[in-house]
């Protein structure tokens, strides 16, 4: 008696287009066995940028900064268009890692935010290139 694999192969060779998933039989196309494509390797390339800063201690008028609520990170692919934002709600934070950045050059600036919602001016813009 023919093994199951051989019987399936003979049956599938007669069809014009068929697909079987039985552990060993993947399918045929035009009467010839086709093997499945290999699974893609790796993941889409994304990167991270870790930003760090010094916690502000004074307002622009020199008075102590007592109501710091956190920070706002602005970033984008152009230093003139930092359109994406991340809110860091921890006033004690002095660093943040931005993840999921596609390849390219990314630009970042940060501002401090008070509990009243007042924002400082943006810091200097820094950049990182994700290969």
Range of the domain at 119: 47-130
Query: What's the pLDDT tens digit per position in 57-95?
Result: 998 889 999 999 999 999 999 999 999 999 999 999 999
CATH code for position 92: 2.60.40.10
Question: Do 76 and 22 fall within a single domain?
Answer: no
pLDDT higher than 80, residue 111: yes
User: 121-124 long-range contacts, Cβ below 8 Å, gap at least 24?
Assistant: 122/74, 122/82, 123/53
Residue 41 lies in a domain: no
Which of helix, strand or coil describes residue 109?
strand
Q: Is the pTM of this model over 0.85?
A: no
Look at residue 126 and tell me if it is in a domain. Answer: yes
Q: Report yes or no on 13 lying in a domain.
A: yes
For the chain, what is the domain count?
Answer: 2
Residue 119, classed as helix, strand or coil, is strand
Q: Do residue 74 and residue 105 come from a single domain?
A: yes
Q: Given this model, what pLDDT does residue 54 score?
A: 94
33 pLDDT exceeds 50? no
Please indicate, yes or no, whether residues 118 and 66 belong to a single structural domain of this protein.
yes
14 three-class SS: coil
**pLDDT number for residue 27:** 42
Q: 16 and 76 share a domain?
A: no
Q: Are 28 and 57 part of one and the same domain?
A: no
């Amino acid at each position: 008696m023919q093994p199951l694999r051989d019987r399936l192969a003979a049956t599938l060779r007669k069809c014009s287009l068929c697909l079987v998933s039985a552990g060993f039989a993947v399918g045929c196309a035009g009467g010839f066995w086709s093997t499945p494509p290999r699974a893609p390797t790796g993941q889409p390339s994304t990167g991270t940028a870790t930003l760090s800063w010094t916690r502000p201690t004074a307002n622009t008028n020199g008075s102590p900064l007592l109501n710091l609520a956190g920070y706002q990170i602005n970033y984008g692919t152009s230093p003139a268009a930092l359109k994406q934002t991340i809110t860091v709600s921890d006033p004690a934070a002095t660093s943040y890692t931005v993840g999921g950045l596609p390849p390219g050059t990314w630009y970042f600036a940060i501002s401090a935010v008070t509990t009243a919602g007042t924002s400082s001016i943006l810091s200097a813009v820094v950049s990182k290139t994700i290969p």
